[in-house]
Each structure stands twice: as structure tokens, then as C-alpha cells.
Chain A
């Protein structure tokens, strides 16, 4: 399956600032996804990012707060804007890997652990 890396792996930020998280894949993939995992909780889909089109956001998430870029088939960024302590979470990207032969399976990056003070 695809190898997925994320930067940074963790960060501590001040409220009111913004952080951009990078997701890099070692092969070309069509669909990339961004999730949030709040402390002790399950995963919630923020948005789906397809190359060449605007990201599709899930209910409760807006582009002004979580702008996403998808400049090519191997890379995406998620920005957490104007952060507050409630944004403290693990942010994970995932991909569907066509090389793995299944379009129903997502593979996850290692996550970015964000703490907002």
C-alpha cells in the first residue's frame, strides 16, 4: 500500500495563530481525506480533497477555518486557522490507494498531534 507521511508530527501553538499540516504520498492517488480525532474520541471526516477541484467539506467544517490545498496527485495541505484550545486534536490524512487494488479502503498517515494553548 501507499506510504504516507505527515509534517509536522506534533506541534504546540498559541491561540489565534494558524498551522499548516502537510501530507505526502509516495504514489499518485486520486482521493485524499482529512480527519480530526479529538482527545479520546473517534475520527471525524473534515473534507475530501481531489486534485484539480475544490475540497468537499463535511457538515460542521468550513473552508475559512480549514482551508485545504491539493496541488498534485501526491500532496495536500490542511491549515487550521485562528486556532483555539478546542482545536487540540490529532489530524490525519488518508488516501485510497489504487495500487492496492481496492477503492473502498483508506490508508492513513501517522497523524499530526496539535496542542493549542
Chain B
């Protein structure tokens, strides 16, 4: 079946550091790929998505590129802020059903 694997957290960074959160997937067919973010005490917000190979999703300074050859969708940001502290979920949709990774907690210190 479909699956998503994320790097385990927590990831602790200083403000303005570079962020990478790794995400790899296994799926039949050609899934759409997503990053969702969950701020403390809140629900999930869609951060970005990509629907086909080599697409780059971007939002709020975050980027992720759909790499079919490596089945990856790593999340990156060039300079994190304290306000980026949250849990990040990678997910795929291969046919009306979202499959989530385990989530990665990011903590950004001033």
C-alpha cells in the first residue's frame, strides 16, 4: 500500500538557519504530494502541494520539489523564523485518500 516516511523530530534550529525536512514516499501510480503544517493548538493547514514530477510547490518561503526518480518531496526553507515552530506533515493522495507521514516537529529558537 501507499506510505510516507518523514525524518523523525524534533528538529531544533536557530532563527535564520536553513531547514530541510526529508520526506520519501511509496505509491502506485502518480500521486499528488503535500506538506501540511500544524501550529500549536490548531488544525492542519495546507502549506504547499505538487501534482506531477519536477513540479515545485512553494508558499511562505517554503519549497518542495516532486522528485519521481528518488520518490522524494523534501521541504526546505532558507531562513526559518520562531513563528515557523510547528509540526510538519508530508502526505500523498493517490486516489481520493490522503496518506500521512508521522510528522516532524520543528522548534526554532531566537
The yes or no answer to B25 lying at the interface (CB within 8 A) is no
Alpha-carbon gap, A96 to B98, bound state (A): 11
Inter-chain contact A105/B32, CB cutoff 8 Å: yes
Interface size class of A (residues with CB under 8 A): 20 to 34
Interface residues of A in 84-111 (CB under 8 A from B): 90, 92, 94, 96, 102-111
Which B residues touch A42, using CB under 8 A? 89, 100-103
- SS of B interface (majority): strand
Q: Nearest B residue to A108 by beta-carbon distance? A: B44
Interface size class of B (residues with CB under 8 A): 10 to 19
Inter-chain contact B89/A43, CB cutoff 8 Å: yes
Inter-chain contact B43/A92, CB cutoff 8 Å: yes
A42-B100, A42-B101, A43-B100 known; A105 vs B34 contact (CB < 8 Å): yes
Q: Give chain B's interface residues, CB within 8 Å of chain A.
A: 32, 34, 36, 42-46, 49, 51, 89, 93, 96-98, 100-103
Q: Give chain A's interface residues, CB within 8 Å of chain B.
A: 1, 6, 31, 33, 41-43, 45, 48, 90, 92, 94, 96, 102-111
